Amino acid sequence: MDFLKIFGRENVSSKDIAKERLRLILVHDRANVSPKFLEMIKSQLIHMISDYMEIDEEGLEVKLTRMEKDKDITVPALVANIPIKKVKHLAKI
């Protein structure tokens, strides 16, 4: 997906865009994960982590994607991007 961005969408054939979009759609369909479910995970993550760190709740991103496990085998993966504002004192102990 990233390399698509680097070269700009104009240079990418529309079928590659279709295929990439499909792959992500199917990861969600197959895992049967709703956006609501992801929101639940997100809020619990915030709740848990805020004991230790101050995090940027707006910038927090939780998404389902694909990950290469072995060669030719991709598995669904849950990826969380959590921007940290400040580490709380407690965590240094």
Partner 1 sequence: MSEVIVITSGKGGVGKTTTTANLGTGLALYKQKKVVMLDADIGLRNLDVVMGLENRIVYDLVDVANGMCRLKQALIRDKRFENLYLMPAAQTKDKTAITPDQMKKLCQDLKKDYDYILIDCPAGIEQGFKNAVAGADKALIVTTPEVSAVRDADRIVGLLEAAGFEDPKLVINRLRPDMVKRGDMMDIDDMIDVLAIELLGVVPEDEKIVISTNRGEPAVADESSKAGQAYRNMIRRLEGEEMPLMAMENIEPSFMDKLRIFFGLKARAR
Binding site for partner 1 (CB under 8 A): 13-16, 18-19, 21-23, 25-26, 29-30
CB of 62 to partner 1, least distance (A): 22
Nearer to partner 1, 50 or 74 (CB): 74
Q: How far is the CB of 17 from partner 1 (least distance, A)?
A: 9
* Sole residue written with tokens 């995970």: 41
Nearer to partner 1, 30 or 88 (CB): 30
3-state secondary structure the chain: CHHHHHHCHHHCCHHHHHHHHHHHHHHHHHHCCCHHHHHHHHHHHHHHHCCCEEECCCCCEEEEEEEEEECCEEEEEEEEECCEEEECHHHHC
Q: How far is the CB of 15 from partner 1 (least distance, A)?
A: 5
Please say which residue, 22 or 80, places its beta carbon nearer to partner 1: 22
